[in-house]
Amino acid sequence: MTVLDQTGKRRPVTSATALPDLPAVRDEVDAILTDFLAKRAQAAPGPEMTPLFTTLSSLLHGGKRLRAHLCVTGWYAGEGRGDRDRILRVAASLELFHAFALIHDDVMDSSDLRRGRPTAHRALATAYVADGHPPRRATAHGLAAGLLLGDLVLTLSDDLIRTGPGAEAMWRIQPLLETMRSQLVYGQYLDLVATGRPCDDLEAALRIVRYKTASYTVEWPLRIGAALAGAGPDVHSACSEFAIPLGEAFQLRDDLLGVFGDPAKTGKPVGDDIREGKATVLMALALQSASAADRRLLRTAVGNPDLSDEDFGRVRDVIEHSGAHRQVETMIMARRHAALTVLDRAPFPFPAAEALREIAGIATVRQS
Amino acid sequence: MTVLDQTGKRRPVTSATALPDLPAVRDEVDAILTDFLAKRAQAAPGPEMTPLFTTLSSLLHGGKRLRAHLCVTGWYAGEGRGDRDRILRVAASLELFHAFALIHDDVMDSSDLRRGRPTAHRALATAYVADGHPPRRATAHGLAAGLLLGDLVLTLSDDLIRTGPGAEAMWRIQPLLETMRSQLVYGQYLDLVATGRPCDDLEAALRIVRYKTASYTVEWPLRIGAALAGAGPDVHSACSEFAIPLGEAFQLRDDLLGVFGDPAKTGKPVGDDIREGKATVLMALALQSASAADRRLLRTAVGNPDLSDEDFGRVRDVIEHSGAHRQVETMIMARRHAALTVLDRAPFPFPAAEALREIAGIATVRQS
C-alpha cells in the first residue's frame, strides 16, 4: 500500500505511519508517569515527602498531554523507526516539564485553582495544616513548598528523559531542550516585567506569547520528537513553520478563555489575567480601540487584585465592545490557517501531517 | 620522581599530581563563568533580561568556590588524565547549581542579605523600581523574579556542564547529578517542614543537614570529579566516607556562624535561623540541655520573625549556657577527624589527599 505525499510522490505506508491518536498517547504517557513517579516516591527519603508526590500526581491528572502528543507526532513526522517506548519516555518528560512550569507560574501569581483543583502550593499548604502545623504559617509554607516541588519536578523531568533515548540521542536533543527551558524562563520574566503595566503595544504582547508559551508548547515538543527520529533540517524548518503560528494561536485562545471562558470547563477562575494585570494581546487590542473613557476604566481595573465580579463584568464588556475579542478570534484563525498551509507542503509522511491537522484543531478551538 | 602512596607502594609523580590550589581553581572557574554568562546574556531575547544576569554575576562574586575545588580535586583523586579544562567546566557548573540553591533558598526565607550584598530577589526588586515600576509591587515582583532567576540558573548549570566532558562522560556522571539535585530538594523540604517546630530530636536535625547541605556541598562534587576521571568503586567509597562527615561538619559550622558569627565576615545577618525557627542541630542540643525556664524562652523566641536584637541576645546566651555551642564544636571536630582519618587509608594519589586535608580545614574552621 502506498500514499501520495506532499510532493506528489508515492511513498509506501510503513510502520512509521501507524500513528496513535491522542487518547492512545495519553494512556501510554500516563502509564510511564505513574510508574516513574511511584518509583521515585519510594526512593525518597521518608514519609515527609509524600505531600510532594501526592500533589504532583493530582496536578498531572487533568492535563491534555498536548506536548507529549506533539513530541510523538514529531517523531513520526521525522519518519522515526524503532522502539517507540523510548520516545514516549521523552514525551512523558515534557509533561513533567510542563507541570514544573505550571507549579512555578501558580506560585508567582499566587493562583488558587488549576485544572479545577487547588493549585500545588495551595494543596501543599492544606497538607501542612492537616499535619498539625499552625494555620498562620500555611500560606508562606505553601508558596515555599510549591517552589521546591517545582524544582523537584524540573529535575524529575530531566531524570525521566534520560531513561529514554540513550546517550547519543540525548546529546542530539540537548540543544533543543536547553533552548526550550531558557525560552520559557525568559518568556515568564518578560510577562512578569510587563504585568501591572497594561499597554497597547501589540508587538510586545505577542513577543511574550512567543517566549512564554508558543515555543515550549508546540515548537520544541515537535522538534524534539523530530530530532529523536534523526530528522534533517528541512523537517525541522517545517516543524517550526507549523509550530510558531500554532503556538501563538494556542496562547491567544488561552487569553480569551481567561476572560470569556467557562471556569467549569477551563478549571481556573475567570478574570485572573485582568486582576493580575497581565499584558495580553487581548488587552493591547482593547486599549488600542476603546474610547478614552473605556481606556481609563481598563487602566484602573487591570492589575487591581480586589476587582469585584461586577467590575470585572464591566471590563469584559469594554473588551467585547472594543472589538478586541473578535480581533483575537481572527488572529487565532489566521494563525491556524498559516499552520495548516505549512502542512500542505511539509516533508512529513501523510499520517503525521493528518495528526498535526487534528492537533491544530484541538489547540485552537478548545474550551479548556 | 616517586611518592609513597597509602598502601606503602611507590608511585611515579605524574601530571595528575600537579594539583592546583584553591585560588588557582577559583580564577579558572571564574573565567569560565564570566565567559559563559556573557555569551548567554548576549543571546538572551532583549535588554529586559539584563537584571537577571547582573544579579547573578553579583551573587557569584563572593563565593568560596568550594564545590568547584572539590570537583577538581575529585578528578585528581581518581587519577584523572587529559584535558583539565573539560573538568573545570563541570566544576564551574556546580557553582551555578549552588547559586540556584542559594537564590531559591533566599526566596523561600525572604532573606535580605547574602555574601554581604542584597539577596537576588531584593536586588531584582530594586532594579524593578529603578526601571520606573511602582514600589508597592516591588516585593512581590522581587520574589517572583528571584524564583525565575533560580530556574534560569538551574538550566544554565545544566547547559554549562554539557559544554564540558562530552556525551560519554556526561552519561556516566548523570546518575550522580540526579541524586545531588533530588537530595538538595528533599533536604530543603525536610528543613521547611521542620521550620517553626523547634525540637530536641538530634537525629532529625542531622538528617536535614545531610540532605540539605552535606551531600551537594562535598560528596557529589567530589564524586562527580572522580567519576569524570573514570574512578572505580573503591575511590568512590573513599570519597563518600571522607565527604559525609566533612559535609556535616560544614553545615554545623554554618549553624554556629548563623548564631555566633560576625555578620561583617559571614555576609549575612546573625539570628536569621532563630527568627525563621530552623530546626538546627544547635537548637536540638540546646533544647535537650537547657533548664525548663530556658526551654520555654527558646520555644517562644524561635520562629518569631519580630524577635528583637536584645531577645536574640538572650537566646544566644541560653544556647551558650546550655553547652550546645561547645557540643557542636566537638561534633565538628569529631567529624573533621573522621574525614581526615579516611584520607590516611584512601586510595588517592598523595597530592589529592593533601588537597582534601586542606579543604577539610577550610570547610570546618572558617569564619564565613
Q: What is chain A's pLDDT, residue by residue, as a tens digit (368 residues)?
A: 344 444 555 554 444 456 778 888 999 999 999 999 999 999 999 899 999 999 999 999 878 899 999 999 999 999 998 888 889 999 999 999 999 999 999 999 998 888 888 999 999 999 999 999 989 999 999 999 999 999 999 999 999 998 888 888 888 899 999 999 999 999 999 999 999 887 899 999 999 999 988 888 999 999 999 999 999 999 999 999 999 999 999 999 999 999 999 888 888 888 888 998 999 999 999 999 999 999 999 999 999 989 999 999 999 999 999 999 999 999 999 999 999 999 999 999 999 999 999 999 988 987 77
**C-beta contacts of B314-321 below 8 A and 24+ residues apart:** B315/B259, B315/B271, B315/B274, B316/B259, B316/B260, B316/B271, B318/B286, B318/B290, B318/B294, B319/B259, B319/B282, B319/B283, B319/B286, B321/B290, B321/B294
- Answer whether A45 sits within 8 Å of B211, measured CB to CB: yes
Task: Please name which of B302, B67, B292, B99 lies closest in space to residue B198, comparing C-alpha atoms.
Answer: B302
Q: Is A197 on the interface with B (CB under 8 A)?
A: yes
Count of CB atoms situated within 10 Å of the CB of A48:
17
Residues of chain B numbered 303-342 and touching chain A (CB < 8 Å):
none
Judged by CB atoms closer than 8 Å, whether chains meet at A152 and B185 is answered as yes
Could you give the ipTM of this predicted complex? 0.92
Count of other CB atoms within 10 angstroms of residue A62: 12
d(C-alpha B288, C-alpha B201), whole Å? 8
pLDDT at B114: 86
From the CA of A290, how many Å to the nearest CA of chain B? 24
Name the class of domain A19-365.
mainly alpha
- What cell numbers appear for A7 in the block? 510532493
Bridge partner residues of A114 (DSSP): A117
Q: Does B193 touch chain A (CB under 8 A)?
A: yes
Average pLDDT, whole number, for chain A? 91
Tell me whether residue A321 is exposed, middle or buried, using C-beta atoms within 10 angstroms of its C-beta: 0 to 12, 13 to 18, 19 or more. Answer: middle
Q: Which chain B residues have a beta carbon less than 8 Å from that of A40?
A: 182
Q: For residue A145, which residues of chain B lie inside 8 Å, CB to CB? A: 189, 192
Closest CB to A154: pick one of B154, B183, B186: B154
Residue in this structure with the C-alpha cell 515555543, named with its chain if needed: A215
d(CA B207, CA B204): 5
Test B189 with A151 for CB contact under 8 angstroms: no
Round to whole Å and give the CA distance between B115 and B122. Answer: 13
Task: Spell out the long-range contacts of B101-105 with Cβ–Cβ below 8 A and sequence spacing 24 or more.
Answer: B101/B184, B101/B188, B101/B216, B102/B59, B103/B59, B103/B146, B103/B149, B103/B150, B103/B153, B104/A147, B104/A148, B104/A151, B104/B146, B104/B147, B104/B150, B104/B188, B105/B188
Q: List the alpha helices (DSSP H) in chain A.
A: 22-43, 50-61, 66-77, 84-109, 120-130, 138-161, 166-194, 202-209, 220-228, 233-260, 263-266, 272-276, 281-289, 292-301, 309-322, 324-345, 350-365
Amino acid identity, position B326: R
Interchain contact B41–A (C-beta under 8 A): no
Interface check for A170 against chain B (CB to CB < 8 A): the answer is yes
Asked if A151 lies within 8 A of B104 by C-beta distance, the reply is yes
Q: Given an 8 Å threshold on Cβ–Cβ distance, is A167 in contact with B162?
A: no
Least CB–CB distance from A178: residue in B155, B170, B190:
B155
Contact check, Cβ <8 Å, A147/B108: yes
Interface-testing mutation among B148, B159, B199, with chain A (most A C-beta atoms within 10 A): B148
User: Taking CA atoms, what residue in B is nearest to A128?
Assistant: B193
What is the structure's pLDDT at A264? 87
Q: How far is the C-alpha of A186 from the C-alpha of A198, rounded, in Å?
A: 19
**With contact defined as beta carbons under 8 Å apart, do A230 and A165 qualify?**
no
Contacting residues of A for B46, CB less than 8 Å apart:
190
Mutate which of B106, B136, B186 to test chain A, going by most A C-beta atoms within 10 A? B186
Q: Which of A151, A203, A206, A210 to mutate to test the interface with B (most CBs of B within 10 A)?
A: A151
CB contact under 8 A, B181 and A155: yes
Q: Any chain B CB within 8 A of the CB of A141?
A: yes
The CATH classification number of B20-365 equals 1.10.600.10
- Residue A199, amino acid: C
Q: What is residue A195's three-state secondary structure?
A: coil
Q: What is the pLDDT of residue B9?
A: 54
Site from B102, B192, B203 to mutate, A interface, most A CB atoms within 10 angstroms: B192
Residues from chain A that touch B156, judged by Cβ atoms under 8 A, are: 182
A44 touches chain B (CB under 8 A): yes
Residue A193 CB-half CA count within 13 A: 27
Contacts of B11 (CB under 8 A, 6+ apart): B2, B3, B5, B349, B350
Q: CA triplet B162, B166, B169: central angle to 5 degrees?
A: 100
Give strand pairing partners of A4: A10
Residue in A closest to B129 by C-alpha: A193
What is the Cα–Cα distance from B78 to B89, expressed in whole angstroms? 17
> What is the spatial distance between Cα A174 and Cα A275, in angstroms, rounded to a whole number?
38
Q: Give B275's contacts in chain A (Cβ within 8 Å).
A: none
**Residue position matching grid coordinates 572539590:** B70
Q: List chain A domain ranges.
A: 19-365
Q: How many Å apart are CA A133 and CA A125, to the nearest integer? A: 10
Q: Distance (Å, rounded) from C-alpha B338 to C-alpha B246? A: 8
Closest by CA to A156, choosing from A223, A227, A23, A56, is A56
Check CB contact under 8 Å for A104 and B45. Answer: no
A199 contacts chain B (CB < 8 A): no
Q: Which residues of chain B have pLDDT under 50?
A: 1-6, 12-16
- Residue of B20, B19, B22 whose CA lies nearest to B66: B22
- A282 interface with B at CB cutoff 8 Å: no
Residue B320 Cα, gap to closest chain A Cα (Å): 29
